[in-house]
């Protein structure tokens, strides 16, 4: 705020005095920086969180590199500013070849806040190497977190959490068939950013659950977009893994692919569109993942109980959501009595003729303990 007010005053003075506005604005910025840099040994060119936030975005902007001067394992890996690279000041001379070749590129150094000198030390070292466009974010990582900005973690840190069996939900924001199915980080669920609003039921109900989003590396913004959506839904522990699957595959090898669902035998009633109750029960018990179960009741009914793994698609929404219907496995529509599920089947076939689909023509009641009872009509 102080910087903005100073710049406004400088602009007004420029208009009144006839001096070039840019000259006075530059002097105002310098004066403001001088007011902030009241500590010996600090680098002279300082920036604030809003300045850094312009560059801590995905896809990673060209012409700038944010640099975390803190130790890797204890500080950078568990949490850092998105798109930042780690170059610990203690290892600066050993890692100097990791700096950009372009000496005119904007370099923004940060570390552990106002009491931390690592970023300032690294900035001076970079200046001696001939870099000409250097800034230090003195508030550093603590100020970034305090301002409520998105936090990133490293791929090695994610691997450690997964190996430890830490409770978390890992979300792959890439397209399912073109990316996730061809290789993903082990344990990740597929929730493409383009379908985020339709698939939020895949997220944990507990808003305090840790969520980690990733996609296709520093040039991919899908994970950060999905992470922001999750924050808006009220999730409180949301992080991104900016380097995503490409770095995972480089460090630990390609991840698992999505195998084709096992084939299932579906027996019908005299109505060839209606699955027999015994066949349905057998699929529920032995191979539920081989079919897509769609509960076509209203959301309020769905919330009170449904079959495990079923998604909610109210009958009135079937036609407009036809693009979500898969063609690689059978679909079974159900409700509580068979009427709405049969209607949903007809609507789905009309909207997407290529599907293989059935409906459960039976009475279904769900119990509070997650059980169910199915009886013929």
Average confidence score pLDDT of the chain: 89
Nearest in space to 114 (alpha carbons), one of 137, 91, 92 = 137
DSSP string computed for 52-76: HHTTS-SSPPTTEEEEE-S-IIIII
User: Could you confirm whether domain 155-252 is CATH 3.20.20.70?
Assistant: no
- The pLDDT score that the predictor gives to residue 10 is 41
CATH topology of domain 37-146: Oxidized Rhodanese; domain 1 (3.40.250)
Condensed to tens digits (0 to 9), the pLDDT of residues 102-115 reads 999 999 999 999 99
Q: What is the CATH class of 277-376?
A: alpha beta
Average pLDDT over residues 17-46: 54
Say how far apart CA 103 and CA 105 lie, in whole Å.
6
- The pLDDT score that the predictor gives to residue 2 is 40
- Is the per-residue pLDDT at 214 higher than 50? yes
Domain with CATH 3.40.250.10 in the chain: 37-146, 155-252, 277-376
Residue 88 contacts residue 71 (beta carbons within 8 Å): yes
- Highest-scoring range by mean pLDDT, 16-20, 23-27, 47-51, 205-209: 47-51
Exposed e or buried b for every residue in 123-139, given b needs 16+ CB within 10 A? bbbbeeeebeebbbbbb
Condensed to tens digits (0 to 9), the pLDDT of residues 332-357 reads 999 999 999 999 999 999 999 989 99
Of residues 145 and 286, more confidently modeled:
145
- The pLDDT score that the predictor gives to residue 261 is 59
- Highest-scoring range by mean pLDDT, 16-20, 103-107, 195-199: 103-107
Count Cβ atoms below 10 Å from residue 21 Cβ, excluding itself.
15
- Is the per-residue pLDDT at 53 higher than 80? yes
- Is the per-residue pLDDT at 77 higher than 90? yes
Residue 112 contacts residue 70 (beta carbons within 8 Å): yes
- The pLDDT score that the predictor gives to residue 371 is 85
Query: What strands, in cross-sheet order, belong to the sheet with 238-241?
Result: 151-152, 238-241, 211-214, 169-172, 189-190
- Is the per-residue pLDDT at 246 higher than 60? yes
Confidence of residue 260 (pLDDT cuts 50, 70, 90): low
Say how far apart CA 320 and CA 316 lie, in whole Å.
9
- The pLDDT score that the predictor gives to residue 11 is 43
Confidence of residue 252 (pLDDT cuts 50, 70, 90): very high
- Is the per-residue pLDDT at 24 higher than 70? no
Average pLDDT over residues 22-43: 52
- The pLDDT score that the predictor gives to residue 37 is 56
- The pLDDT score that the predictor gives to residue 257 is 85
- The pLDDT score that the predictor gives to residue 34 is 37
Condensed to tens digits (0 to 9), the pLDDT of residues 147-187 reads 999 999 999 999 999 999 888 999 999 999 999 999 999 98
Say how far apart CA 302 and CA 310 lie, in whole Å.
9
Of residues 55 and 3, more confidently modeled:
55
Confidence of residue 318 (pLDDT cuts 50, 70, 90): very high
């Amino acid at each position: 705020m102080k910087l903005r007010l100073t710049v406004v005053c400088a602009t007004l003075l420029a208009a009144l005095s006839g001096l070039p506005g840019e000259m006075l604005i530059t002097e105002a910025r310098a004066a403001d920086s001088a007011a902030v840099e009241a500590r010996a040994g600090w680098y002279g060119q300082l920036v604030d969180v809003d300045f850094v936030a312009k560059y801590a975005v995905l896809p990673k902007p060209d012409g700038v590199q944010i640099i975390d001067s803190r130790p890797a394992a204890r500080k950078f890996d568990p949490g850092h500013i998105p798109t930042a690279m780690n170059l610990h000041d203690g290892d600066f001379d050993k890692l100097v070849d990791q700096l950009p070749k372009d000496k005119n590129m904007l370099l923004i150094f940060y570390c552990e806040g106002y009491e931390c000198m690592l970023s300032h030390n690294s900035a001076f070292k970079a200046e001696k190497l001939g870099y000409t466009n250097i800034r230090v974010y003195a508030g550093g990582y603590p100020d970034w977190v305090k301002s409520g900005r998105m936090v990133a973690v490293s791929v090695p840190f994610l691997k450690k959490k997964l190996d430890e069996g830490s409770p978390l939900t890992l979300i792959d924001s890439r397209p399912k068939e073109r990316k996730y199915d061809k290789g993903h980080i082990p344990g990740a669920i597929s929730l493409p950013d383009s379908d985020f609003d339709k698939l939020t039921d895949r997220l944990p109900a507990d808003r305090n659950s840790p969520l980690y989003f990733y996609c296709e590396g520093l040039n991919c913004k899908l994970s950060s977009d999905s992470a922001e959506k999750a924050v808006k839904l009220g999730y409180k522990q949301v992080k991104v893994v900016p380097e995503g699957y490409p770095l995972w595959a480089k460090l630990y090898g390609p991840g698992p692919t999505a195998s084709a669902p096992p084939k299932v035998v579906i027996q019908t009633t005299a109505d060839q569109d209606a699955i027999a109750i015994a066949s349905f029960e057998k699929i529920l018990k032995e191979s539920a993942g081989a079919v897509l179960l769609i509960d076509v009741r209203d959301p309020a009914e769905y919330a009170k109980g449904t079959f495990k793994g079923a998604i909610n698609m109210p009958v009135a929404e079937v036609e407009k959501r036809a693009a979500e219907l898969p063609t690689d496995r059978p679909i079974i529509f159900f409700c509580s009595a068979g009427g709405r599920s049969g209607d949903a089947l007809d609507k789905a076939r009309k909207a997407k003729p290529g599907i293989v689909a059935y409906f459960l023509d039976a009475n279904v009641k769900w119990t509070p303990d997650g059980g169910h009872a199915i009886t013929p009509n």
